[in-house]
Chains A and B, each alone.
Chain A
Amino acid sequence: MNALWMRQIAAVWRLEWKKTLLSKRGWWIYCLALGPVFLTAMHWLVQSRVARHSHHTLGEDSVVFAAMFQFFYLRGAIFFGCMGLFSNLFRAEMLEHTLHYYYLTPLRREMLVAGKYLAGLAVALLLFVGSTVVSFLFIGRHAGAAYTDYILHGPGLSQLAWYAVTAALACVGYGAIFLMTGLFSRNPMIAAAVVFVWEGINPFLPSVLQKVSVIFYLRNLAPVEVPIPPPLNVMVIAADPSPAWLAIGGLLAVSALLLVYTAVSARTAEISYGE
């Protein structure tokens, strides 16, 4: 027999995951997740037809995917997707006047936060890790057997695993941030804008400040480095990369701290719906 707290988290998860996955107001999150899949699928189809006239190499595809991952997935799709998914877990219920149903059950607020976070995380992982994996598999598909060989006998599988881990960690980290801002702020866009700007200017900050961000650690985990074109390359400050174990451990620890803070705050939160 499962412990009470596990049953309660599972009950919250059951209520939340479907609502989060199938939310009509989240249509744009599907677009963010499916956009790269569509583009890489088109790339596969187009390159398959013009392969004889093309000088396109798998190495180039690998760098293009690395750039797409760093600049579209990490800084765009996952960031804004997590904002849409996680900040709505509390905020949408406040706007719809339904949060009190949770608050009137004998459920520890910590369990409510955990259940909602896990539901949001399941959806975010499904969408963004799924999208990353599928896009990676599509981008070199036009090379046929060479790409299969690249994945199975070359560095492809290891790269795919690191991209998936990095995308998952991005969901974990940004999810924790936006769950917290969704509980505290009526308008999470303001908090999102602040975090977005901070993460965006990260490469241009002094190396000490670069480490106070999520993107710094995620960038270090990405398996393929993206060359920065001039004139930006002279403005970028190269900070010492963190070892993978530190980047992963640090991100998980910071996320856990944010979740604990959110849970403690949820315990003292009131239901007034602004009336």
Chain B
Amino acid sequence: MSQAAIAETQITFSDVSRFYGEVLGINRVSLTIPPGVTSLVGPNGSGKTTLMNLMTGLIRPTQGEIRVLGVPPDHPEKLCRFVGYCAQFDAFPKGLTGYQFIYSYLLLHGFTAAESAERATAALQRINMLGAAGRQVAAYSKGMRQRVKLAQAIAHDPQVLVLDEPLNGLDPMARAETIALFREWGEKGRHVIVSSHILHEVDRISDQVILLSQGYVVAEGEIQGVRNEVKEQPMQILVRCDRPEMLAARLFQQRGAVEAKISADGKGLLLRTRDADGFYLMLNRIVMEHGLEVESVAPADDDVNSVYQYLIGAEGATV
């Protein structure tokens, strides 16, 4: 695939800054976002919404260049054909029902009345809101308003879906359905870009994460890859086995071992090591030589929450 063809499947930020007067929005951001589900994570004011508004053309960069599947965001007549944005604003045009809200904006896309009606119905069905479609949006609960915004963002079947805190106000069932929708769209090779404060849900959703702090990108990529880059924090590994005390003793013969804790039931060992690869090799040897029965081995801190804590700190984290 040529460079140009690759660029047309990605969202790229090249040295992008955005200032609001003298206030920094984001500074010197260079990013490449491939297809799949990408989460933007960071505390309030870190630049998540600015990044989303920039890629959807609602605001313009002070400097730098943005391309969304090869298209600059200042061409809305091209960009908005394949981009859907569920923004954070909880406001709707007055006097419209849920159905009319989606239908009216589909007409603006240039769809015929029949196509718009069909797409509006399909979008409402997709988010289980068909029953409330005839009610005024003003009478909806916060969760329903959030879902009808989502329906409006997906109604024209966009290739790029940008969602600012889309799970806010949703009940657990709706959250699960919405997350399933994101996963489904990501698996279809589309871009789904989500900002969220709820880190354990980000973990479930994301193929890759972008961590932001005070307008700067702190880390980006697949979460395991990002975790491996955080060298100064020892890896945490949880091993469930029949002789954890023997494993702990052997661990401290190895370079890089920092800490080991045996669980209360005597069947688990939570260890911290700077040499995870060395530990896994050692574990294989112990199993072979001493017949250690291992029930499970799993990294305990290669999730978004841990990486967030290591790179950004506790402020702003909502788990």
A and B from one complex: yes
Q: Given A270-B58, A271-B58, A272-B20, A104 and B80 touching (CB < 8 A)?
A: yes
Whether, in the assembled complex, A15 has its beta carbon less than 8 Å from a beta carbon of chain B, the answer is yes
| Number of B residues, CB within 8 Å of A | 31
Per the 8 Å Cβ criterion, residues 81-112 of A in contact with B are: 96-98, 100-109
Q: Point out the residues of chain A lying under 8 angstroms from B152, CB to CB.
A: 101
Partner of A104, one of B58, B94, B110: B58
Partner of A270, one of B59, B80, B91, B112: B59
Q: Mark B53-66, 1 if CB is under 8 A from A, else 0.
A: 10011111000000
Q: Mark B72-97, 1 if CB is under 8 A from A, else 0.
A: 00001111110111010101111100
Closest to B162 in A: A104
Once bound together, how far apart are the Cα atoms of A10 and B112, in whole Å? 12
Question: Is the pair A100, B58 in contact by a Cβ cutoff of 8 Å?
Answer: yes
Q: Point out the residues of chain A lying under 8 angstroms from B104, CB to CB.
A: 11, 14-15
Query: Which of A7, A108, A273 has the most B CB atoms < 10 Å from its CB?
Result: A7
Query: Which of A8, A15, A104, A107 has the most B CB atoms < 10 Å from its CB?
Result: A104
Per the 8 Å Cβ criterion, residues 250-268 of B in contact with A are: none
Question: Is the pair A100, B108 in contact by a Cβ cutoff of 8 Å?
Answer: no
CB distance from A266 to the nearest CB of B (A): 11
Once bound together, how far apart are the Cα atoms of A15 and B107, in whole Å? 10
Partner of B107, one of A14, A18, A103: A14
Whether, in the assembled complex, A194 has its beta carbon less than 8 Å from a beta carbon of chain B, the answer is no
Q: Point out the residues of chain B lying under 8 angstroms from A56, CB to CB.
A: none
Q: Point out the residues of chain B lying under 8 angstroms from A12, CB to CB.
A: 108
Whether, in the assembled complex, B109 has its beta carbon less than 8 Å from a beta carbon of chain A, the answer is yes
Whether, in the assembled complex, B19 has its beta carbon less than 8 Å from a beta carbon of chain A, the answer is no
| Number of A residues, CB within 8 Å of B | 29
Q: Given A14-B104, A100-B58, A106 and B110 touching (CB < 8 A)?
A: yes
Question: Is the pair A104, B95 in contact by a Cβ cutoff of 8 Å?
Answer: no
Q: Point out the residues of chain A lying under 8 angstroms from B84, CB to CB.
A: 104
CB distance from B138 to the nearest CB of A (A): 12
Question: Is the pair A96, B91 in contact by a Cβ cutoff of 8 Å?
Answer: yes
Once bound together, how far apart are the Cα atoms of A69 and B79, in whole Å? 49
Partner of A105, one of B20, B89, B93, B109: B109
Question: Is the pair B76, A103 in contact by a Cβ cutoff of 8 Å?
Answer: yes
CB distance from B193 to the nearest CB of A (A): 14
Whether, in the assembled complex, A234 has its beta carbon less than 8 Å from a beta carbon of chain B, the answer is no
Once bound together, how far apart are the Cα atoms of A11 and B107, in whole Å? 6
CB distance from B275 to the nearest CB of A (A): 47
Question: Is the pair A104, B56 in contact by a Cβ cutoff of 8 Å?
Answer: yes
Q: Mark A241-265, 1 if CB is under 8 A from B, else 0.
A: 0000000000000000000000000
Q: Point out the residues of chain B lying under 8 angstroms from A108, CB to CB.
A: 76-77
Once bound together, how far apart are the Cα atoms of A97 and B145, in whole Å? 14
Q: Point out the residues of chain B lying under 8 angstroms from A4, CB to CB.
A: 110
Once bound together, how far apart are the Cα atoms of A273 and B95, in whole Å? 21
Once bound together, how far apart are the Cα atoms of A96 and B83, in whole Å? 23
Closest to A97 in B: B91
Once bound together, how far apart are the Cα atoms of A19 and B87, in whole Å? 23
Question: Is the pair B89, A100 in contact by a Cβ cutoff of 8 Å?
Answer: yes
Question: Is the pair B59, A106 in contact by a Cβ cutoff of 8 Å?
Answer: no
CB distance from B102 to the nearest CB of A (A): 11
Q: Point out the residues of chain B lying under 8 angstroms from A273, CB to CB.
A: 89
Once bound together, how far apart are the Cα atoms of A123 and B79, in whole Å? 33
Q: Point out the residues of chain B lying under 8 angstroms from A107, CB to CB.
A: 76-77, 80, 108-109
Question: Is the pair B92, A11 in contact by a Cβ cutoff of 8 Å?
Answer: no
Q: Given A15-B104, A97-B91, A103 and B109 touching (CB < 8 A)?
A: no
Q: Point out the residues of chain B lying under 8 angstroms from A106, CB to CB.
A: 76-81, 108-110
CB distance from B56 to the nearest CB of A (A): 6
Q: Mark A1-44, 1 if CB is under 8 A from B, else 0.
A: 00010011011101100110010000000000000000000000
CB distance from A123 to the nearest CB of B (A): 15
Q: 9 interchain pairs (CB within 8 A)?
A: A7-B112, A15-B104, A96-B91, A98-B91, A100-B58, A101-B105, A271-B58, A272-B58, A273-B89
A-B pairs, top 5 by smallest CB distance, nearest first, are A11-B107, A97-B91, A106-B80, A105-B108, A271-B58
Given contacts A106-B77, A107-B108, 16 further A-B contacts (CB under 8 A): A11-B104, A14-B104, A22-B95, A96-B91, A97-B91, A100-B85, A101-B105, A101-B152, A102-B108, A104-B58, A104-B83, A105-B105, A105-B109, A108-B76, A268-B60, A270-B59
